[in-house]
């Protein structure tokens, strides 16, 4: 691979030996990549200004090493530190959650510029006055849709009849079940029409329009519980930030 240049948001950082670090980025042009940056730790390291911190937006230059799937990052310049997020423990926690969730769902090298824009827009929204919980719900729904994991909400996922009232939500089947199909999953749970409507609206709207939608506290609580259970069911990795936020904001 020749030398490449792109924008990337840091998902994960790992110190390596005495002077180097390994960074996992989600990039605009190459999807998720992992790269080593040398000589940036220790007494002789220069000031990086936050360029190597988790969820920083950087302009990076990298090239392929002779072996392995870790690239060499030759230049990493800070573009946005998202400073307002780092001034609030709640915002900081939710920013950590969205990057960890994205990291758990995406695979190295799967390019998706829409996912990059979603992450970037979510961090910008978190930097403002929006509720971190609402930003997280929008991010979860949009990410599920972009990753091909969005639950089926317009019809019964078992028999295909159009969705009406009294449908229930099945984690196992990944969407709504009609009354006639409840025997296929006795663990299916009730779901508010407002929850279905919000999820469908966020999925089909632009990020800017979705960010303006407000929901009742009842729908908000159900969304948080339902999406958490759905994500836990369909992704293999338990997220450290989820347990941290439970302990911090319970």
pLDDT in tens, 56-78: 999 999 987 766 688 999 999 99
Sorted by where each starts, the structural domains of the chain and their CATH numbers stand as 1-81 (2.40.50.140), 89-250 (1.20.1440.120)
Please report which helix (H) or strand (E) contains residue 170, including its range.
strand 168-170
pLDDT at 45 over 60: no
Rounded (5°) CA angle 75-80-82: 140
pTM: 0.92
Q: How far apart are CA 14 and CA 25, in angstroms?
A: 12
**Nearest by Cα to 143 from 184, 114, 111:** 114
Q: Which residues pair with 9 in a beta bridge?
A: 26, 57
- The confidence band for 1, taking pLDDT boundaries of 50, 70 and 90, is low
Stretch 47-52: mean pLDDT: 74
Q: How far apart are CA 43 and CA 139, in angstroms?
A: 39
């Amino acid at each position: 691979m020749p030398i490449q240049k792109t924008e990337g948001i840091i998902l994960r950082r790992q110190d390596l030996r005495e002077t180097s670090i390994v960074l996992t980025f989600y990039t605009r042009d190459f999807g998720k990549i992992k790269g080593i940056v040398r000589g940036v730790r220790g007494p002789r390291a220069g000031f990086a200004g936050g360029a190597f911190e988790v969820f920083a937006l950087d302009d990076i230059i990298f090239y392929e090493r002779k072996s392995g799937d870790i690239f060499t990052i030759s230049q990493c310049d800070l573009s946005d530190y998202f400073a307002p997020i780092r001034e609030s423990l709640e915002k900081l926690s939710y920013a950590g959650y969205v990057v960890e969730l994205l990291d758990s769902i995406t695979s190295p090298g799967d390019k998706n510029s829409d996912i990059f824009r979603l992450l970037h827009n979510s961090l910008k929204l978190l930097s403002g006055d929006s509720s971190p919980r609402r930003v997280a719900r929008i991010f979860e729904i949009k990410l599920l849709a972009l990753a091909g994991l969005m639950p089926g909400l317009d019809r019964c996922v078992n028999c295909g009849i159009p969705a009406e009232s009294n449908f229930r939500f099945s984690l196992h089947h990944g969407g709504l079940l009609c009354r006639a199909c409840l025997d296929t999953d006795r663990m299916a749970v009730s779901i508010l029409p407002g929850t279905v409507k919000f999820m469908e609206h966020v999925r089909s709207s632009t990020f800017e329009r979705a960010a303006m939608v407000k929901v009742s506290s009842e729908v908000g609580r159900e969304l948080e519980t339902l999406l958490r259970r759905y994500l836990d069911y369909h992704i293999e990795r338990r997220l450290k930030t989820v347990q941290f936020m439970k302990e911090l904001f319970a």
